[in-house]
């Protein structure tokens, strides 16, 4: 099952991804997580990506496409994968078609998690993330059991540098301009499933599960 999760920043992609990968036993391929790991490790990729990320802009296509190509070629992606945060431009979507063709695979389903902009900013500014395992929390909507500590691995939580209100607004602008056309790209292929993400996490998951199971059983 080769799945893409689409939706504006803060829609709940990473949150749903945690449950999807556990339930369907496929790897979570998040370009945002890959870039943040690279920034933490101080690699050349991290140094290149950081300035774009902090400004709420997209990392250039050629850089992003390169890391995805390498990741999807790894053996754990053979039985399927969940792409989260990629593709974010039509150029990336076209490149992904080429990558899939070269691997003899295809994108079967694009799950679009829709949430209105006015809800998004509160979600983003309250987000707290674990540096070690990338689990996401929210100070109000999904707090950890012990404040500031990851339930899963006991590491301290942090607030992403790009999770400030001004950067969140900029990222929403970038999404509207550059990523909305990606949805049209996949809608033309008839593979998009829309999910109302403006509900509690468990209710969103029920719908996501139904959509993916109906595909998985085909
Ligand atoms: P994305 O990966 O799409 O950027 P996240 O999964 O990181 O979004 O979610 C953004 C923030 O919103 C996080 O703090 C998360 O805990 C919170 N969140 C996710 N899903 C919901 C939901 N259904 N209702 C309320 N808050 C949510
Ligand atoms: P995310 O974790 O998905 O919210 O991504 C955080 C940041 O990483 C984005 O604002 C971009 O700067 C960068 N990024 C993640 N995925 C991509 C992508 N597919 N194309 C370009 N930049 C990306």
Rounded average pLDDT over 54-77: 96
Q: Is the pLDDT of residue 74 over 90?
A: yes
Q: Return the ∠ at Cα 9 (arms to 28 and 1), rounded to 5°.
A: 30
Say if residues 88 and 182 touch (Cβ distance below 8 Å): yes
For 23-34, write each residue's pLDDT tens digit. Answer: 999 999 999 999
| Placement of tokens 């593979």 in the chain | 191
Domains and CATH numbers, the chain: 2-26+79-115+172-216 (3.40.50.300)
| Binding-site residues, ligand 2, Cβ < 6 A | 9, 31-32, 35, 52-53, 56-59, 64, 85-86, 88, 92, 162, 171
Ligand nearest to the CA of residue 179, numbered in listed order? 2
Q: Give the atom of ligand 2 at the shortest distance from the alpha carbon of 33.
A: 2
**Ligand 1, atom 11, residue with closest C-alpha:** 123
Distance from the alpha carbon of residue 186 to the mean position of ligand 2, in angstroms: 19
Ligand nearest to the CA of residue 167, numbered in listed order? 2
**Ligand 2, atom 5, residue with closest C-alpha:** 32
Structure tokens, 206: 């029920």
| Helix/strand/coil for 79 | coil
For 181-203, write each residue's pLDDT tens digit. Answer: 999 999 999 999 999 999 999 99
């Amino acid at each position: 099952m080769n799945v893409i999760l689409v939706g504006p920043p803060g829609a709940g992609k990473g949150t749903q991804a945690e449950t999807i990968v556990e339930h369907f036993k496929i790897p979570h391929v998040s370009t945002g997580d890959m870039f943040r790991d690279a920034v933490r490790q101080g690699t050349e990729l991290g140094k290149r990506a950081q300035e774009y990320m902090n400004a709420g802009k997209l990392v250039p296509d050629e850089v992003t496409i390169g890391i995805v190509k390498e990741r999807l070629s790894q053996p754990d992606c053979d039985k399927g994968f969940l792409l989260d945060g990629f593709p974010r431009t039509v150029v990336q979507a076209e490149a992904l078609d080429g990558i899939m063709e070269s691997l003899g695979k295809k994108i079967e389903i694009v799950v679009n998690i829709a949430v209105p902009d006015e809800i998004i900013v509160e979600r983003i500014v309250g987000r707290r993330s674990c540096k070690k395992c990338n689990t996401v929390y929210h100070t109000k909507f999904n707090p950890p059991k012990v404040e500031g500590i990851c339930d899963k691995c006991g590491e301290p939580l942090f607030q992403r540098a790009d999770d400030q209100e001004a950067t969140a607004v900029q990222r929403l602008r970038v999404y509207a301009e550059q990523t909305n056309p990606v949805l049209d790209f996949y809608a033309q292929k008839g593979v998009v499933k829309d999910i109302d993400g403006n509900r509690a996490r468990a209710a969103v998951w029920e719908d996501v599960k139904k959509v993916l199971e109906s595909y998985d059983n085909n």
